Amino acid sequence: MQHRTIATPVIKTPQDLDHAVQHYVTSDLQGMALFNHWQAIRDASLEVMNLEPEGDRIPGEDSY
């Protein structure tokens, strides 16, 4: 039996996250490759959720 090696995605930007989700949905991943992709997407999603958009900052807020 031949095993394929699939690299776990490195997700740094929201665009990388979108690409990783598309790949996850359209791929036939199994076993640890499936879990590793899911975990990378989950971790990146949580990180994106915690980012504060620059436009929502109050001027001078950091001076108090």
Give me the residue spans of the domains in the chain.
7-48
Q: Using one digit for the tens of pLDDT, what is the confidence trace for 13-64?
A: 889 999 999 999 999 999 999 999 999 999 999 988 776 566 666 666 665 5
Contact 37, 20 (CB under 8 A): yes
Residue among 37, 32, 30, 28 nearest 10 (CA)? 37
The confidence band for 6, taking pLDDT boundaries of 50, 70 and 90, is: low
